Structure 1
Amino acid sequence: MENKRRRVPALAPEERRAALIDATIPLLHEHGLDVSTRQIARAAGVAEGTIFGVFETKTSLVVCSVIKALDPQLTLDALAAIDRSQPLRERLIRAAELIHARFAENAQLMTAARKLLLTGDATGQMLANRQSLQAALTDVITEGADQLRRPPAAVASLLLLFCGANTYGPFGDPDNFSGEETVSLLLDGLLRRGTQ
C-alpha cells in the first residue's frame, strides 16, 4: 500500500501561516535550525512551494515559529496560580520548578534563537517575554518580601539568572538542582548553619 502524504484543505493565508508555524515548532525541537522546508511541508501536509506563498523565506518562518514556541503564557499562568498564602519558600520552590521546566523544554529553541538574527518585532517580543516572566515571578515573591534582603524584583532576577545559567551555561547541571535546591541556594546560601 502506497503511503500518501495527507493534504490539508485550502486555508486562508493567516490560517495557512498559523498551520505552518504549528508544524515547524516540533521540528525545531527535534532538528534545530537544520530543519528543512521539505520536512516542514511534509509535516504541514502541503507542497514545499506553499511555504513561500506565505513566508518570504525559511528564516522568516523559523523566526515566527521560535517566537510562538517561546511564548511564556503557559508559564505565566502557572506562576499566577501559585497559592500566595503558602510560605515564601514553598512559593519560590514551585516557581523555580516552573522556570527550570520552561528553560529545559526550550533549551534547543533558545540556542536556535541566539543563532538567528532576530531584529525588529522578534527582538522586541523576546524582550517582552523576559519582562513578563520577571514580573510574574516578582508577583510570586512580593508577599513575604519583608523576609528578604533584596527587593522582590532583584530576587526574581537572580532566580531567572540561576535557572538560565544552569540550563544553558557550560557548567549547568539541571539534574542536580531541583526547585528546592535552587531556592535553598538562593535563600540560605552555601554556608552550613552555625558556621562563620
Structure 2
Amino acid sequence: MSPEQRREMIIRTALPLVAEHGMAVTTAQIARSAGIGEATIFRVFADKDELLDACVAEALRTDHVLAEIGAIPLDQPLPARLAEAAAAIDAYLARMGLVIGALHATGRREPGAGEPGPDRAAAMTRTREALAELFEPERDRLRLPVEQIAGLFMGFVFSRARPAAAPRRSPSPSRSTWTSSCTARSRKEPPHDDHPEPHHRDGRRQRRGRPLLRRRHGP
C-alpha cells in the first residue's frame, strides 16, 4: 500500500468514528478499526489534530457528490433525475453535518491550518454546472435558462436540508411541485391576455373605449 493509499484508508476509517465521538475519538480507536498499529497513524499524520483537519477536509470535498450527479442518466424523466440529484446532495450534507457537528459539539471551534479546505465558491459553481446538465434535455420547455434553474434548484435542496431556526409558516414545496412550476409554461409561449377585447355579437372586434359604429354628423 502506497503512503497516499494508507493516508486515504486512515481518513476513510476515521470519518465515521469522528462523526460518532467528535474530539473524544482516540487514535487507538482509529488504528484498531483500521487494523493497523497506532504508530502507523503517526507516520502519516503529525498528531491527532492534523488527522482531524484531514477528516474535515474530506467531509467538505464535493468530488463524490459531483460524480454521483454526473452518473445520472439523462434519458430518465426530469423528476427522477432531480430526485437522484437531491438524494446525492442530501447524503453529502448529512455526512458533512455529522462530522463537523460532532467536532463542534465536543469543543472544536476552528479548523487547524494544516489541511486547507475546498474553495467554497468553486465547489458551488461546479455543483451548479453539474445540475444544469440534468436540465439540458428540457431546455426548450423551461421558463428560465438552465443555469438559472440549476441555481434555484440547488438553493431549494440546500435550504430544505438546513434546519430551520423557527417554525415555518407554510411547508416548503415538494420536488415534484417545484419541477412542475419550472416546466409549466414554455418560455416561447405568448403572454396571456387577462383582459381580452370585447366582441360585437356579429363577430367583429370592438375597440376598447370606442363605439363599434360611428355616429353620423349632419343629414
Q: Which band: TM-score by shorter chain?
A: 0.5 to 0.7
The two structures have a TM-score, normalised by structure 2, of 0.61
Counterpart residue identity of residue 55, structure 1 = F
* 1:151, distance to aligned residue in structure 2 (A): 2.6
Counterpart CA distance in 2 for 1:130 and 1:141 is: 17
Contact 1:32–1:108 under 8 Å retained in 2: no
* CA shift in 2, pair 1:20/1:120, >3 Å: closer
State the one-letter code of the partner of 2:38. Answer: E
Map 1:44-123 → 2, pairs under 5 A: 44-111=34-101, 115-117=109-111, 122-123=116-117
- The share of aligned pairs that are identical, in percent, is 31
In structure 2, relative to structure 1, the CA distance for the partners of 1:41 and 1:184 (3 Å cut) is: same
* Secondary structure of residue in 2 paired with 1:102: helix
**How far off is 1:26 after superposition?**
2.0
Counterpart code for 1:162 = F
1:192 aligns with none
- Structure 2: runs of 5 or more not aligned: 183-219
Larger radius of gyration: 2
Q: 1:32 to 1:143 in 2, by over 3 A?
A: farther
Shift of 1:109: 2.6
Task: Tell me which amino acid in the other structure corresponds to 1:169.
Answer: P
Q: How far has the Cα of 1:137 moved from its partner?
A: 1.0
> Given the superposition, is the C-alpha separation of residues 95 and 113 from structure 1 closer, same or farther in structure 2, using an over 3 Å criterion?
farther
- In structure 2, the partner of 1:146 is 140
**C-alpha displacement of 1:53:** 2.6
- Are 1:182 and 2:175 matched, yes or no? yes
Is the helix fraction higher in 1 or 2? 1
Q: What is the total number of aligned residue pairs between the two structures?
A: 175
Task: Give, as a single letter, the amino acid of the residue that structure 1 aligns with 2:145.
Answer: P
Q: Which residue identity does 1:132 align to in structure 2?
A: R
Identify which range, 105-114 or 55-64, moves more after superposition.
105-114
Contact 2:19 2:103 in 1 (8 A): no
After superposing the two structures, state which structure 1 stretch, 99-108 or 121-130, moved more. 121-130
- The separation in 2 between residues aligned to 1:29 and 1:130, in whole angstroms, is 24
- Structure 1 residues 45, 119: CA separation in 2 closer, same or farther (over 3 Å shift)? same
Paired AA for residue 181 in structure 2: D
Query: TM (normalized to structure 1)?
Result: 0.66
CA RMSD for the aligned pairs?
Answer: 3.6
- Give the distance between the partners of 2:162 and 2:103, measured in 1 at CA: 13
Unaligned runs of 5+ in 1: 1-10, 190-196
Give the letter for the 2:153 counterpart.
Answer: L
What letter is aligned with 2:158? G
Q: Which amino acid aligns with 2:149?
A: V
- 1:126–1:54 CA distance, 2 compared to 1 (3 A): farther
Secondary structure of the residue aligned to 2:175 is: helix
Deviation string for 1:95-131 (max 9, x for gaps)? Answer: 2233223323443135468854266863335555443
> How far apart are 1:24 and its partner, in Å?
0.8
Q: Deviations over 1:139-181 (max 9, x none)?
A: 11122133333332232222222322322333599xx97xx92
Of 110-119 and 64-73, deviating more is 110-119
1:17/1:166 Cα in 2 relative to 1: closer, same or farther (>3 Å)? same
Cross-structure match for 2:13: 23
Report the CA distance shift for 1:162/1:113 in structure 2 as closer, same or farther (over 3 A). farther
